[in-house]
Amino acid sequence: MYMRIGQAIFVAGHLLALATLPAPAEASIPRAEHPRPDMRRDAWQNLNGSWRFCFDPDDRGLGEQWPLGGGPFDRTVTVPFPWQSNLSGIADASGQQVGWYRRTIEVPAKWAGGRVWLCFGAVQREARVWVNGRAVGRSERGYTPFAFDITEFAPPGSEARLDVRVADAPDPELPGSARESDGFPRNSGIWQTVWLESRPVVYVDGLRLAPARPGGRWVLEVEVELAGPDGPARVAVHSSDPTVQPQRTSVRLQQGRGSSRAVLEIRDPKTWSPGEPNLYDLEVSVTGADGQRDVVQTYFGLRTIARGRYGGMGYETILLNGEPLYVRGAIDPSLNAEGLATAPDDAFLRRDIELARQLGLNLLKIPSKAGDPRRLYWADKLGVLLWQEMPGTVLNTERSRAAWQETMREVVRRDRNHPSLIGWTLFRQSQGLGGEQFKGDRATQQWVYERVGEVREQLDPSRLVEDNATSRSDHVDTDVNTWQFRIDDYWIAREHIAQIVSRTRPGSPVGYVPGLAQGTAPLLCGQFVAVPPEGGDVSWALRFLITQLRRHSMIQGHIVSSLYDLPWRRDGLLHYDRSAKEFGYDMFLPGMTLGDLQGADFVGFDSPPIIETAPGEEIAPAIFVSHWSGRQGTAKLRWQVMGIDDFGRPVATRPQERDVSWQRGAVTYQTPLRVQVPEGAPFVGALAVELLDADGHRIAANYVNLIADRANGLDSGSVPSLAGQARPHVEVLAPRLVAVRISPADFASFHADVMDTGESGAGKGFFAFGNCEVQYRVALPAFVRDAVPTQMVLMAELAGLSGTGRVPVHSASVKQPGSVGVYIGETELWQIPLPDDPADSRGVLSHHARFHHGNYGDLIRRRIDLMRLPRLREDICREESFSLVFRTEGPQTGLAIYGRQLGQTMVDPTLVIQTAKQLDRPVGFVSYDPVTIDRLMDRDRLPQSVQTTSAR
């Protein structure tokens, strides 16, 4: 950790950095770092790695006294990974309920004079522990740490055998069962680090560090919990940072317990926030009557979290260090493919926090699970807020309540010192409260009310408390008035959000159980899902849903579900393996990312996601700015129209700018933009806007898509109608240049493993799976053939389709790109690589048609020099029609051909033909800007997705 005073770097940072390093150990030890950087002793030994293991399906081990040395122990397991995980080396998800662990330990002789403690980060679920065949303890904590003094059985300098029996039978009355009922995998056995540590007889058993700002000055309230034999003890608390006032106190232990309280003043305070995650190191030591000294290394951040009014706001907001906070969060399921609930390594935990920051998030919410302490540490260090939801039960019984309360209290006790953690959620979707019955169960409602009060007033007064994260309108008492929704339709979402805002006021019953009403708690969207019902693209709805949420000053933040996909859900901002998803926003504004929509300051259009217009028209969409940062001074808007026309050419207007009016913690509508849509060819694109600071740096960005099409379709001219042949649309572009467009659904024949033209997309595209071939019969008008074609450019928007049916495979992190061969007659012209079924914001036309929710292809361009293919040229000139064939190679390729109404461009499969003679222009000729075949092949003018090669 680094503490700065002026430009100096104090030794404190180096001390805290050392606290995060693993104890000397073999490189093969997994998760070798200290598991509790917030509660670290120097004398410790990591026990992760290979242990002997066996299942006990008949539960014979206790009766046969395996801890005395028996048992098969026929496998090796890697601790600390649950036995269902790949990293455990067991990978058994068959439903085994009892597993036994065994290993030999060597207790360091240098620990002589101290007590030897065997510590477990977490075990799921019931753990019984023996040392050299003698029982030392039992725990039923599935999510929190426990430890046993094993000095009597394994003194310093000795070797000992450990045996651990773990029983994890499904039990709907125990915390964590609700998570499993939601589809999360079981995580049985030892799933967090096991270690030894040396403590003196009198030792630190717990800490509570609570920063506060009474009267505008920063202090740290420190409570030290002590354990050991009765008698006097001395407690010292100090930091290597000289601005932190040290404290020494005396205490007397009685009945084996004692506590010490101190208030440390901090001069020249450096506060903790996501933008500046300043941390101070802290050393807590206790000296017993025997003179032995227990030293615990920890750290703290100066941070307060509260709810209240700010400035002239007419409602409460969330206040971080007294300043308004707009929550930009995501659900963090704390799961991975190889280790399940246990991260593969510490770098993985750090990377999750870094990725959240890169996505523009300032908060992660951990659902139905106590987070790994190392995850909380990295959030502290890197600057991401956390909100933790308690593990829930399925049933509502006296036993389930008792088990839940014990877990809740232990989770709060373990994690309450992390500055990144700003809130607790006690229940989720009324699980463990009776579900829908909770609304009418006054006794359970009273119990929830009491538990909120227990956390808020006794266990942790320094954080916010949410009673129930739910979409069922059953709050009882909460510091944040949250609601949840899953809507992928713009108009429905707009109306839903507006109604929530209009019904949010003190005394309103909305969101609360019958008989109770809202107070003044800040309004927060506790979770929303931004994918269509069948799963798939998250980018499209995410943008317009965030825009609608940011449109209302009363809404104090939002949490998207979720940070990454899960094997059974595709609602993440990342893939399950944490690889990046394609959002496609940069197609409409270079360099735009999700982070441009997730800043404290935001710019948006009060408009549907697509404006349908026509070339040359004027549009005037409403625009607003949501200002939540501490930025002061002036800001500007810069806007521009960008797109691609129906020949794949770029469309762009010159950027324009003007000043912005804004107010902190509020939404300010600007004077509507008056924008002239570019004249000329139809195009698909966007009106993009940037919010700039006084120096011209981008603060935020957004756009509204444009579909600019002519009011009437172009006349196709005089084209022969031949049975089984395409009737192409012909456009004469210049005296020796003509475009021949073909509807992708107007094929002459095809064969494929599976064919799917969809329901709403029938007649708009071609979709086939597996090995396939589609043939178009192209009938050229006589006036084109008579003019003698010499060159052609083929344009088409194509993609591969992996899978065997219309499954949303496009959101998978592993793609299966393929290729397609293109033929005219029997002449093979190209083998073209294809992307695998992409779907994101670039698929504007597919989103508009609500067909396959955003799928699109690459717009390819290929030149054919017919002068070098004389036989083919003669056939085209002589015959009334010729075949254009697309043939995939390989059974997993599949093929999608998009057209004017689907995909990312308005380009039907098109042949642009240059002729040797001047064309006899027919009735229906349409004048465009001068076009040459060389301009169509100009690489410098083409979008990135367009590919250009020539056939020789």
Measure the CA–CA gap between 176 and 142, rounded to whole angstroms. 8
User: What residue ranges in 660-765 does DSSP mark as E strands?
Assistant: 666-670, 675-676, 683-692, 698-708, 729-734, 737-741, 749-755
Q: Is the dihedral of CA 564, 570, 575, 581 positive or negative?
A: negative
Helix then strand then coil, % of the chain, to nearest 5: 15, 40, 45
Global confidence as pTM: 0.91
Query: What is the spatial distance between Cα 891 and Cα 919, in angstroms, rounded to a whole number?
Result: 43
pLDDT at 19 over 50: no
Q: What is the pLDDT of residue 28?
A: 85
Q: Which has the minimum average pLDDT: 67-71, 94-98, 257-261, 889-893?
A: 889-893
Q: Which residue's structure tokens are 């595709």? A: 570
Cis peptide before 232 (omega within 30 of 0): no
Quote the pLDDT of residue 940. 44
Q: What percent of the chain has pLDDT over 70?
A: 89
Residue pLDDT, tens place only, 927-943: 434 445 555 555 444 44
Band (715; pLDDT cuts 50, 70, 90): very low
pLDDT in tens, 824-834: 988 999 999 88
Report the distance separating Cα 418 and Cα 411, nearest Å.
12
Cα–Cα distance, 416 to 409 (Å, whole number): 10
pLDDT in tens, 470-511: 988 999 999 999 999 999 999 999 999 999 999 999 999 999
For helices 346-358 and 373-382, the axis angle rounded to 10 degrees is: 40
Q: Span 633-658, mean pLDDT?
A: 95
What is the C-alpha to C-alpha distance for residues 528 and 503, in angstroms, rounded to an integer? 19
Q: How far apart are CA 196 and CA 188, in angstroms?
A: 22
pLDDT of residue 801: 82
Q: Residue 364 above 60 pLDDT?
A: yes
> Residue 269: its pLDDT value, please?
97
Rounded Cα gap, residues 934 and 830, in angstroms: 20
Q: Which residues are CB-neighbours of 150 under 8 A, at least 6 positions away? A: 116, 117, 118, 131, 136, 160
d(CA 701, CA 802): 34
Q: Smallest Cα–Cα separation from 852: which of 772, 773, 751, 767?
A: 767
898-911 pLDDT, tens digit each: 999 999 999 999 99
**Pairing state between β 675-676 and 421-428:** unpaired
pLDDT reported for residue 796: 96
**Cis preceding linkage at 80, omega within 30:** yes
Per-residue model confidence (pLDDT) at position 763:
64
* pLDDT at residue 943, as a whole number: 41
User: Are 522 and 504 a contacting pair, CB within 8 Å?
Assistant: no
> What is the average pLDDT across 274-288?
98
For residue 562, cis peptide bond before it (omega within 30 degrees of 0): yes
Average pLDDT over residues 33-38: 97
Question: Residue 852 — pLDDT band, cuts 50, 70, 90?
Answer: confident
pLDDT of residue 802: 73
Half-sphere exposure of 118 (CA within 13 A, CB side): 29
Rounded to an integer, the average pLDDT of 886-897 is 80
pLDDT above 90 covers a percentage of the chain that reads: 78
Residue 944 CA to chain centroid, in angstroms? 27
SS (H, E, C) 47-75: CCEEEEEEECCCCCCCCCCHHHCCCCCCE
List, for residues 591-643, the tens digit of each pLDDT value.
999 999 999 999 999 999 999 999 999 999 999 999 999 999 999 999 999 99
Could you read off the pLDDT of 726-746 as tens digits, one per residue? 456 888 998 999 999 999 988
Mean of pLDDT over the chain: 89
Spatial distance between the Cα atoms of 714 and 672, rounded to a whole number of angstroms: 33
The predicted model gives 23-30 an average pLDDT of: 61
One-letter amino acid for residue 688 of the chain: A
Structure tokens at 107: 């207790």
Query: Other CB atoms closer than 10 Å to residue 596's CB: what's the count?
Result: 23
Nearest Cα residue to 378 out of 410, 414, 345, 354: 354
Instruction: Output the six-digit token pair for 463.
Output: 């954080």
Alpha helices for 534-620 (secondary structure H): 539-550
Burial 617-633 (b: 16+ CB within 10 A, else e): eebebebbbbbbbeeee
Alpha helices for 870-949 (secondary structure H): 870-878, 933-936
In 3D, which of 305, 324, 328 has the Cα closest to residue 315?
324
Give yes or no for residue 550 having a pLDDT over 90: yes
pLDDT in tens, 239-248: 999 999 999 9
Q: What is the pLDDT of residue 904?
A: 95
pLDDT-derived band of residue 922, with 50, 70 and 90 as boundaries?
Answer: low
Distance CA 516, CA 505 (A): 13
- What's the chain's Rg over C-alpha atoms? 33
At 815 the pLDDT is 62
Section 798-825 average pLDDT: 69
Q: How far apart are CA 14 and CA 12, in angstroms?
A: 5
Give me the pLDDT at residue 17, please.
35
Confidence of residue 850 (pLDDT cuts 50, 70, 90): confident
- Residue 817: per-residue pLDDT: 74
CA–CA separation, 895 and 802 (whole Å): 9
How many other C-beta atoms lie within 10 A of the C-beta of residue 135?
A: 13
**pLDDT above 80: residue 750:** yes
* Residue 460, both tokens: 């942790």
